[in-house]
Amino acid sequence: MSLIALEEHYAWDPASSDNVVATWLRSNDPTAYARLYDRGSLRLEQMDAAGIDFQILSLFDPGVQDEPDATRAVDLARSANDDLAESVRAHPNRFGGFATLATQDPDAAAREFERAVTELGLVGGLVNGHCQGRYLDDPAYEPLFACAESLGAPIYLHPTTPHPAVMDAWFAPYVSDGMHLASWGFAAETGTHVLRLVYSGLFDKFPGLQMIIGHLGEMLPFAAYRIDRYYGLGGGGGSSRGLQRLPSEYLRSNFHVTTSGNFCAPAFACTLEVLGADRVMFSVDYPMDDNQVGATFMADYPMDDSARQKVASGNAIRLFGDRLPVELGAS
């Protein structure tokens, strides 16, 4: 049984040169900093030690989403994808890649997505949340989603720092505690972004579109019952958009979730119960989380062999198809 991890990050300059986390790691955790920048022997050594066969790499948050100059963001994304494709070509049986997309320019993002998948051989795209306050339910992004559906290539919606207005209203007094980051803010931000996409009717318009979210679903499996129960009850006198199905049904048909950085047995049990084993995929969130911890969690969690195989690699092989090495499907 192969083990595939697909929320696994790397840093690349110039896009990552001013990254706050990378800068902190350089001074405070040189080992993690080295792992973040490495796409060769160190990363492969860490994978081998944990029994991870394949990583799908993505540019470290916020990618290019924070670049204020749209033209520069587009150029950076293209260069980052060319550079990532070289790493994939150097280790084609160990690495795949998610394309960096400059969502400052929706049409350019769609064109780059198609180029990255069809010409560079990357397996899909990854977007680091909102782009300076602009969310993906904006109709301008429909060509990007149409492209993804047409190619059969998924888009990973990765967390980022919450919207500036939310930062001011919710998190400002607790920034020093990191409340706005991975402990809470990332999940609240990304889960809300997902619901915006669902409520906008995106998946009625593009029913074949597939997306991925991490961290056992950014709290959405736990909340799915109440999301469905109260959908459409806005109390404002206006009419909802009238989705064809309940919101949670789109989570089970248009989203996969990964285990990245959330190796918690009760949360995993909830996710499997709500979404089903066909919609959950293994990931680590390397190098912020440890490969061995993730692999041990995967091996030790009590589930039947069929479900374990799906989560470990089978669902990823089904989702990405022939964009992954054929050897990963060997038993």
- Catalytic (active site) residue 285: yes
Cβ contact 241:275 at 8 Å: no
What angle do the packed helices 265-275 and 247-254 form, to 10 degrees?
A: 100
Catalytic residue among 53, 61, 105, 285: 285
Among residues 7, 5, 319, 315, the alpha carbon closest in space to that of 156 is found at 7
Q: How far apart are CA 15 and CA 160, in angstroms?
A: 15
Q: What is the DSSP string of 46-105?
A: HHHHHT--EEEEEEPTTTTTT-S-HHHHHHHHHHHHHHHHHHHHHSTTTEEEEEE--TTS
Is 279 in contact with 256 (CB distance < 8 Å)? Answer: yes
Q: Is 318 helix (H, G, I), strand (E, B) or coil?
A: helix
Q: Find, among 324, 161, 275, the residue nearest to 311 by Cα.
A: 275
List residues with catalytic annotation. 285
